[in-house]
C-alpha cells in the first residue's frame, strides 16, 4: 500500500483586530507525506517441535537417507563415538542457551514439511517506510529599504520495524532493525537597499542530518542474559549462526549513526556603476560530522558448525573431516557446543569539524553595440 499526499497554502498574515499584514507580511506552509506499507512473504527452515525436545529422528533427506547423531562426550582415543539411540538426545542434555532459543523461536507454520527438504516456516514480512516533510516560510517588509524572510523545513523518516529473511524472535530482540532519519534546514535573510544602485544581503543558513540505524534489541544486554561471553559489555542480540537449517539469530543490523551539521554565514553586496555590475562579499562555513561506525560483532558472534555430533572420517587425513550424513548443527546447538566464537572491538564516536573562510569579487561588464544597415 503506497500513498503520497500533501497540502500547501500561503498569503498575507492577518490576525483580526490585531495585525493586518497586507502588502507587508506573508506566510507559506506546506506538508507532504510518503507512506509505503509492504508485507513481502518470507520463509526459512527451522527445527521442528520434536527436535527442540531432542527428537532428531526426522533428520532424513529427500532421498530417504538418515543423518546420524553421535554423543561428543563418548569420544575415545581412536576418535570413535557412540550414536544417540534412535537419534534422540535426552532433554536433560539440552543446554540453557538452546532452551531459551527455542522459547523465542516461532513454531513452524508447516509442521508436516521436512526442514531437511524445504522451508517449513512462511509469514508476511515487514518492510515499511513512513516519511513526512513540513516547510514554513515568512516574508516581512520592514521598510522600503529592508526586507526579511525566514524559512524552515523539517523532514523525518519514522522509526519503523523491519526484518530480514527470517522471523523476528518472540522476545523482539533479534532479526529486526529500526531506522530513524531526520533532516532539518533553515535560512534567515535580510536584504537592505542602500541606494538605487547599491544593495546588500545578510544570509544565515543551517542544515542538519541525523541518520541512525539500530537493532531492535539495542536497549538490552542480551549476551549477559544468555550467559554468553560479552567482553565489551555491549547491548543487542549476539550473532548466532550455524544453528541448524536456515534459521539464524542476528542483531538485525549493525548499529551506526551519522550526524551532520552545516552552518553558513554570508554577506553579499551588489553595486551598479554604469555598465559595471560589481559583486563582492564573503562567507564563513562551519561543519561537524559525528559518526558512529558499524558496531559489527561487538556483542560477539557464535557459530555452531562444530561437528560435535558428527563422526570422524579416518580417511580424511589432516583435514579432520566428518563422515557424510553424520552430525548436525541443530544438535550441536541443542548440546550447547559451539565451533567458533569471536568478538570485535570497534571504536565508538568519531567527531570531526571543519571551518572555511571565503571572499569573492566579480565584475560583470556589459558591452553595447549599434549595428547600422
Residue 356, strand partner residues: 285
pLDDT at 33 over 70: yes
**SS3 track for the chain:** CEEEEEEEEEEECEECCCEECCCCEEEEEEEEEEEEEECCEEEECCCCHHHHCCECCCCECCCCCECECEEHHHCCCCCCCEECHHHECCHHHCCHHHHHHHHHCCCCCCCCCCCCCCCCEEEECCEEEEEEEEEEEEEEECCCCEEEEEEEEEEEECCCCEECCCCCCCCCCCCEEEEEEEEEEEEEEEEEEEECCEEEEEEEEEEEEEEEEEECCCCCCHHHHHCCCCCCCCCCCCEEECCCCCCCECCCCCCEEEEEEEEEEEEEEEEEECCEEEEEEEEEEEEEEEEECCCCCCCCEEECCCCCCCCECHHHHHHCCECCCECCHHHHHHHCCCCEEECCCCCCCEEEEEEEEEEEEEEEECCCCCCCC
Q: What is the mean pLDDT of the chain?
A: 92
**Residue 124 confidence (pLDDT) above 80:** yes
Q: What is the pLDDT of residue 100?
A: 95
What local confidence, expressed as pLDDT, does residue 156 receive? 94
Work out the percent of the chain whose per-residue pLDDT is above 90: 79
Integer Cα distance of 87 and 316 in angstroms: 24
> Per-residue pLDDT for 87 more than 60?
yes
Q: Which pLDDT value is given to residue 319?
A: 79
How many C-beta neighbours within 10 Å does residue 15 have? Answer: 8
Residue 317 has pLDDT above 60, yes or no: yes
pLDDT number for residue 155: 96
Give backbone dihedrals phi and psi of 315, rounded to 5 degrees, phi first: -85, -5
CA distance 235 to 233: 7
- How would residue 131 be classed by pLDDT, with cut points 50, 70 and 90? very high
Condensed to tens digits (0 to 9), the pLDDT of residues 23-32 reads: 899 999 999 9
What pLDDT does 65 receive?
Answer: 93
pLDDT at residue 128 tops 90: no
**Higher-confidence residue: 319 or 139?**
139
pLDDT-based confidence at residue 204 (cuts at 50, 70, 90): very high
What was the pLDDT predicted at 236?
93
For the residues 79-100, what does the mean pLDDT come to? 95
Among the listed ranges 138-142, 263-267, 368-372, which one has the minimum average pLDDT value?
Answer: 368-372
pLDDT at 372 over 70: no
Q: In the structure, what pLDDT confidence band is assigned to residue 371 with cuts at 50, 70 and 90?
A: low
Q: What is the mean pLDDT of residues 97-118?
A: 95
- 234, HSE (Cβ side, Cα atoms, 13 Å): 26
Q: Does residue 183 contact residue 208 with C-beta atoms inside 8 Å? A: yes
Question: Which CA distances in Å does 220 have to 105, 175, 217, 316?
Answer: 18, 14, 6, 44
Task: Give the residue, 367 or 305, on which the prediction is more confident.
Answer: 305
Give the per-residue pLDDT at 21.
82
Residue 19 has pLDDT above 60, yes or no: yes
Tell me the sheet residues that pair with 262: 207, 287
Look at residue 12 in the predicted model and tell me its pLDDT.
94
- Give me the residue label for grid cell 558512529: 292
Pick the closest to residue 259 from 204, 218, 205, 207 (CA basis): 207
- Predicted local confidence at residue 78, as pLDDT: 82
Confidence label for 137 from pLDDT (cuts 50, 70 and 90) = very high
Q: What was the pLDDT predicted at 152?
A: 98
Please tell me which residue, 358 or 274, carries the higher pLDDT value: 358
- Average pLDDT on 155-180 reads 86
Amino acid at each position: 500500500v503506497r500513498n503520497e499526499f500533501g497540502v500547501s497554502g500561503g498569503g498575507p498574515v492577518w490576525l483580526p483586530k490585531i495585525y493586518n499584514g497586507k502588502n507587508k507580511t506573508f506566510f507559506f506552509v506546506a506538508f507532504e507525506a510518503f507512506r509505503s506499507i509492504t508485507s513481502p512473504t518470507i520463509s526459512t527452515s527451522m527445527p521442528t517441535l520434536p527436535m527442540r525436545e531432542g527428537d532428531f529422528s526426522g533428520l532424513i533427506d529427500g532421498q530417504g537417507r538418515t543423518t546420524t547423531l553421535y554423543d561428543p562426550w563418548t569420544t575415545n582415543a581412536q576418535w570413535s563415538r557412540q550414536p544417540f539411540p534412535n537419534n534422540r538426545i535426552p532433554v536433560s542434555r539440552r543446554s540453557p542457551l538452546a532452551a531459551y532459543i527455542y522459547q523465542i523461536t516461532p513454531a513452524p507454520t508447516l509442521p508436516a514439511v521436512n526442514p531437511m527438504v524445504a522451508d517449513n516456516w512462511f509469514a508476511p514480512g515487514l518492510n515499511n517506510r513512513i516519511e513526512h516533510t513540513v516547510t514554513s516560510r515568512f516574508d516581512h517588509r520592514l521598510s522600503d529599504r529592508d526586507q526579511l524572510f525566514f524559512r524552515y523545513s523539517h523532514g523525518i523518516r519514522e522509526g519503523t520495524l523491519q526484518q530480514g529473511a527470517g522471523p523476528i524472535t518472540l522476545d523482539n530482540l533479534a532479526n529486526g532493525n529500526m531506522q530513524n532519519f531526520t533532516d532539518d534546514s533553515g535560512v534567515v535573510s535580510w536584504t537592505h537597499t542602500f541606494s538605487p544602485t547599491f544593495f546588500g544581503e545578510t544570509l544565515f543558513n543551517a542544515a542538519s542530518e541525523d541518520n541512525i540505524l539500530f537493532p531492535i534489541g539495542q536497549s538490552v544486554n542480551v549476551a549477559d542474559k544468555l550467559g554468553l561471553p560479552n567482553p565489551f559489555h555491549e547491548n543487542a542480540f549476539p550473532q548466532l549462526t550455524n544453528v541448524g537449517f536456515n534459521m539464524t539469530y542476528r542483531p538485525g543490523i549493525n548499529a551506526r549513526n551519522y550526524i551532520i551539521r552545516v552552518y553558513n554565514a554570508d554577506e553579499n553586496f551588489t553595486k551598479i556603476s554604469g555598465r559595471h555590475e560589481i559583486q563582492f562579499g564573503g562567507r564563513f562555513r562551519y561543519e561537524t560530522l559525528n559518526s558512529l561506525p558499524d558496531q559489527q560483532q561487538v556483542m560477539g558472534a557464535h557459530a555452531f558448525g562444530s561437528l560435535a555430533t558428527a563422526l570422524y572420517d579416518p580417511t580424511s587425513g589432516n583435514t579432520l573431516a566428518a563422515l557424510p550424513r553424520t552430525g548436525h548443527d541443530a544438535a550441536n546447538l541443542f548440546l550447547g557446543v559451539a565451533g567458533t566464537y569471536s568478538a570485535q572491538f570497534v571504536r565508538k564516536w568519531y567527531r570531526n569539524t571543519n571551518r572555511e573562510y571565503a571572499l569573492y569579487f566579480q565584475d560583470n561588464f556589459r558591452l553595447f553595440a549599434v549595428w547600422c544597415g
